[in-house]
Amino acid sequence: MASPALNRLKAHKAPVLSLAFAPSSSDTVASSSEDCTLRLWDLRTEKPVKAWLPNTFGADTVTSIVWSERDEGSIWVGCGTRVLGLDVRGGSGMLGGKPVVEKEVAGDEINQIALHGDLIAAADDLGDIYVWDTKADTVSSMKTNHTSIASTLLFIPHKPTPTILSGGLDSQIMHWDLTRKLPKSNLNIRDLIVEAAEGDASGQMFNPPFVNSLSLNEEGKVWAAAVGDGSVFVGRQGQDDGARGGKKRKWNEEAWEITALGGEPHRAGASVVEWAKFDPTRLVSGGNDGSVRIWDASRAFEQGEQEEEGATALVETLELGEGKKVNWLTTTERSGKGRVVIADTSGDILLYDLRGPPSNTNKLATLQAIRSAIRSSAPTFIPSLRTINNSTRLFSNTHIMAGKHTVAVVGSGNWGTAIAKIVGENTAQHSDVFNKDVKMWVFEEEVEHEGKKRPLTEVINEKHENVKYLPNIALPEGIVAEPDVVKAVEGANILIFNLPHQFVGKVCKQLRDSGKVSKDAVGISCIKGVEISKDDISLFPYTIGEELGIYVGALSGANIANEVAEEKFCETTIAYAPKDDKGVSSDTIKKLFHRDYFRVGMCEDVAGVSLAGALKNVVAVAAGFADGLGWGDNSKAAVMRVGLMEMKKFAKTFFPDVRSATFTEESCGIADLITSCLGGRNRRCAEAFVKTGKSMDELEQDMLNGQKLQGAGTAEELFHFLDKKGKTDDFKLFTAVYNIVYQGLPPDQLAENI
């Protein structure tokens, strides 16, 4: 019986072969299909938002997709014998742009690619493994190969030198030494199957035990293999020679412990397996029997206390229907729940959102512990579940210095750095209340400085200047740039969130998983944007607060960052009204932000302050269109008036408790609307949009030197939300901005559409 919970996403005309979630979004997934296209989906609307057509790939099928972890905007694909790099922001409208880079990598058709820093590895039909060093632009091949098709491969993470595991239709799993280009060890699954079948006429061994897919858990030590006989194997590097439930194997010099997951195997070959991103103890597998199975693999983490071999590990089965096969699947975590996308042979993508939280508290603790263990490069293997659950060390709150408040700024863009400057001035001035030093998290990148390429953090700490995002502005000495976001917040009890809204989810997840955010902390969000989920809207103070388990208020105002940094007088609004302020009073917050040139008005309307900042960005885009069209001041005033009305109506409709006065009387309302429509980046780029015909993404790249636009993205998010609610007609200006930016509505039709 097919599961009723599966939503079908339709666009591909032939079976989908590969799926990959964007690193920081559980709502964005890329798919490739035998129809020779690649599509990018917004799972909130269940619609494709970008497509690359067969001409991009020379009519080769894209068999494998990997998102870059370093640059959200880049996707790598394996396609025929080539690997291509695509810029997901490029192209125009729905159509993706040409490949940014393209390399002939393999001798035969590539089945899977894997990414590790600058290295891209590929497994091909001839059984060969290739590694392309994208920086040096060299391709090397391993000196030996699988004796049949190499179907799958991955890099083992957290290793000082890159290492690969690959699997093939020769039933081998091979562990590669990339320096010597030779296998360190290999394991033949066929041997295991034969052993397991001794005295057991189950018949499974008649299906050849091809290794179809491999996955490694986050910690990088427990692997899982989807095998052609229908079973899913898990294995890990052994720690001792003691007898355990699983089979112990010697891989040349390496001892590995292997066990088949108990319970019902797939009735035909298992085609794909993945450690669930939503639960470290779960594996999700798909098979040629048309079923998706979720397994409890927690015993793979237990040392010396495994369940008996054969005990059932199967926790859930989804049947996709008669005659279906699972080609691919991948998982993510979304708002604490599990999400699986599945490619079957129909060409549809099936979306399965697990109903309840997949993880009970212990499981979540396990996930956090595993991640902590990874980060602290624990010398031993993952501690047993029992150790983790009893551990206070991993989960105890970070110690907060008694007496003084410690402040951290999460974000270091144009506004992030300007706010850090203000805060650093105040922590130095009020050193009786605050610790002077303020860590500022910097999303690390290389910058060209005085003729040399150097890490941005290094330059900031040496020059006391953010040369990329706020040049020519001296920062207080107490500001310390820190590339590790977890280290940046460790020990802080006032956290200031100030980064472009598209990156907030990823960063918060990282912070939450670290377990390092003090429960005694409070936060202030300076982010202008909204968070839209499938058919719901939330605001960043709330989503950040929920994710991290702390109270978060909001700061927003008529604050063009460069002007504030130059200390030109302005006002701002801070909404802060925690039930329990954890010792950080409203007065303390005001003390932290108020300067003579930066006048703080306090209020309690967190939703109003946050919404005003987000929505005015969309109006600023419309104002920019008016400028681009050469319309006059009267026209722009009309846009601003209509915009303000829509901002208020939107707030009242979806957040009935907001105060109208927040929009009409505070700096974060009318004043921010005015300054943004006169001077902001959204306005500037929207003007250029009309004048040049370039896309907003291109203009962001051309004009902003790494800074990010918020207005167009917010218009798109609002549109999808309003569309779901059937209310686009009530918000004509917001809708017109979306239609002009993304749907080709001519800008000169703005007036008749608002």
Ligand X SMILES: O=C(CO)COP(=O)(O)O
Ligand Y SMILES: NC(=O)C1=CN([C@@H]2O[C@H](COP(=O)(O)OP(=O)(O)OC[C@H]3O[C@@H](n4cnc5c(N)ncnc54)[C@H](O)[C@@H]3O)[C@@H](O)[C@H]2O)C=CC1
Residues making contact with ligand Y (CB under 6 A): 72, 411-416, 443, 469, 498-501, 503, 526-529, 559-561, 706-708, 710
Q: Is 560 in the site for ligand X (CB under 6 A)?
A: yes
Distance, in Å, from the CA atom of 478 to the CA atom of 438, rounded to the nearest integer, reads: 6
690: Cα within 13 Å, side-chain hemisphere? 22
Choices 73-81, 271-279, 322-330, 557-565; region in contact with ligand X by CB under 6 A: 557-565
1: Cα within 13 Å, side-chain hemisphere? 3
Distance, in Å, from the CA atom of 545 to the CA atom of 413, rounded to the nearest integer, reads: 22
Q: Give the residue nearest to ligand Y (CB).
A: 413
Q: Give the residue nearest to ligand X (CB).
A: 680
Q: Which is nearer to ligand Y, 246 or 413 (CB)?
A: 413
* Among 293, 291, 289, 237, residue whose Cα is nearest residue 261: 293
DSSP 569-636: -EEEEEE---SS-TT--HHHHHHHH-BTTEEEEEES-HHHHHHHHHHHHHHHHHHHHHHHTT--HHHH
Minimum distance from CB of 418 to ligand Y (Å)? Answer: 7
Distance, in Å, from the CA atom of 188 to the CA atom of 560, rounded to the nearest integer, reads: 62
Six-digit token string for 278: 């939503």
Minimum distance from CB of 163 to ligand Y (Å)? Answer: 26
161: Cα within 13 Å, side-chain hemisphere? 6
Q: Is 298 in the site for ligand X (CB under 6 A)?
A: no
What crossing angle do the helices spanning 681-692 and 696-704 adopt, rounded to 10°?
A: 120
Contacts with ligand X in 213-272 (CB under 6 A)? Answer: none
261, 314 contact by CB (below 8 A): yes
Q: Which is nearer to ligand X, 507 or 686 (CB)?
A: 686
Minimum distance from CB of 683 to ligand X (Å)? Answer: 6
Q: Which is nearer to ligand Y, 163 or 417 (CB)?
A: 417
Minimum distance from CB of 703 to ligand X (Å)? Answer: 11
618 binds, among ligand Y, ligand X, none (CB under 5 to 8 A by kind): none
Minimum distance from CB of 158 to ligand Y (Å)? Answer: 21
* Among 572, 563, 574, 527, residue whose Cα is nearest residue 667: 572
Q: Is 559 in the site for ligand X (CB under 6 A)?
A: yes
Residue with tokens 């993205």: 713
682 binds, among ligand Y, ligand X, none (CB under 5 to 8 A by kind): ligand X
Task: Decide if 337 is catalytic.
Answer: no
Distance, in Å, from the CA atom of 670 to the CA atom of 57, rounded to the nearest integer, reads: 49
* Among 619, 597, 718, 622, residue whose Cα is nearest residue 669: 619
Residues 697-716: x where in contact with ligand X by CB under 6 A, - otherwise, as a string: -------------x------
* Strand, helix or coil for residue 549: coil
Put the strands of the sheet holding 28-33 in their side by side order. 16-21, 28-33, 38-42, 47-52
Q: Alpha-carbon torsion 719, 724, 725, 729, what sign?
A: positive
Distance, in Å, from the CA atom of 418 to the CA atom of 429, rounded to the nearest integer, reads: 17
Q: Which is nearer to ligand Y, 591 or 708 (CB)?
A: 708
Minimum distance from CB of 681 to ligand Y (Å)? Answer: 7
Q: How many residues bind ligand X (CB under 6 A)?
A: 13
Looking at 488, 558, 574, 699, which residue binds ligand X (CB under 6 A)? Answer: 558
Minimum distance from CB of 557 to ligand Y (Å)? Answer: 8
Q: Which is nearer to ligand X, 498 or 675 (CB)?
A: 675
Q: Is 636 in the site for ligand X (CB under 6 A)?
A: no
178: Cα within 13 Å, side-chain hemisphere? 23
Distance, in Å, from the CA atom of 707 to the CA atom of 620, rounded to the nearest integer, reads: 17
Minimum distance from CB of 558 to ligand X (Å)? Answer: 5
Q: Which is nearer to ligand X, 343 or 409 (CB)?
A: 409
Contacts with ligand X in 516-555 (CB under 6 A)? Answer: 528
675 binds, among ligand X, ligand Y, none (CB under 5 to 8 A by kind): ligand X
214, 165 contact by CB (below 8 A): yes
Six-digit token string for 195: 């052993």
How big is the chain, counted in residues?
754
Q: Which is nearer to ligand X, 178 or 574 (CB)?
A: 574
Minimum distance from CB of 632 to ligand Y (Å)? Answer: 26
499 binds, among ligand X, ligand Y, none (CB under 5 to 8 A by kind): ligand Y
Q: Which is nearer to ligand Y, 276 or 560 (CB)?
A: 560
Six-digit token string for 277: 């991103």
Distance, in Å, from the CA atom of 369 to the CA atom of 375, rounded to the nearest integer, reads: 10
Q: Which is nearer to ligand Y, 320 or 741 (CB)?
A: 741
Burial of 160 (0-12, 13-18, 19+ CB in 10 A): exposed
Minimum distance from CB of 43 to ligand Y (Å)? Answer: 20
210 binds, among ligand Y, ligand X, none (CB under 5 to 8 A by kind): none
Looking at 115, 234, 382, 620, which residue binds ligand X (CB under 6 A)? Answer: 620
DSSP 583-598: T--HHHHHHHH-BTTE
537 binds, among ligand X, ligand Y, none (CB under 5 to 8 A by kind): none
Residues 485-504: x where in contact with ligand X by CB under 6 A, - otherwise, as a string: --------------------
Tally Cβ neighbours within 10 Å of residue 536: 13
- The residue from 616, 649, 724, 732 that is catalytic is 616
Distance, in Å, from the CA atom of 138 to the CA atom of 76, rounded to the nearest integer, reads: 17
Residues 653-692: x where in contact with ligand X by CB under 6 A, - otherwise, as a string: -------------------x--xx---xxx----------
Q: Which is nearer to ligand Y, 163 or 610 (CB)?
A: 610
Which positions ≥6 away from 213 have C-beta within 8 Å?
151, 152, 167, 225, 226, 270, 271, 272, 273, 274
Residue with tokens 């293999």: 225
* Rg of the chain, C-alpha, whole Å: 27
Instruction: Look up residue 165 and give its amino acid.
Output: L
Q: Which is nearer to ligand X, 299 or 528 (CB)?
A: 528
498 binds, among ligand Y, ligand X, none (CB under 5 to 8 A by kind): ligand Y
Kind and range of the H or E run holding 427: helix 414-429
Q: Which is nearer to ligand Y, 154 or 539 (CB)?
A: 539
Minimum distance from CB of 53 to ligand Y (Å)? Answer: 27
Minimum distance from CB of 524 to ligand X (Å)? Answer: 15
281 binds, among ligand X, ligand Y, none (CB under 5 to 8 A by kind): none
Minimum distance from CB of 682 to ligand X (Å)? Answer: 3
Q: Which is nearer to ligand X, 346 or 498 (CB)?
A: 498
Distance, in Å, from the CA atom of 299 to the CA atom of 366, rounded to the nearest integer, reads: 13
497, 411 contact by CB (below 8 A): yes
- Strand ranges (DSSP E) for 468-529? 479-482, 494-497, 522-525
Q: Which residues are marked as active site?
A: 616
Contacting positions for ligand X (CB under 6 A): 528, 558-560, 617, 620, 672, 675-676, 680-682, 710
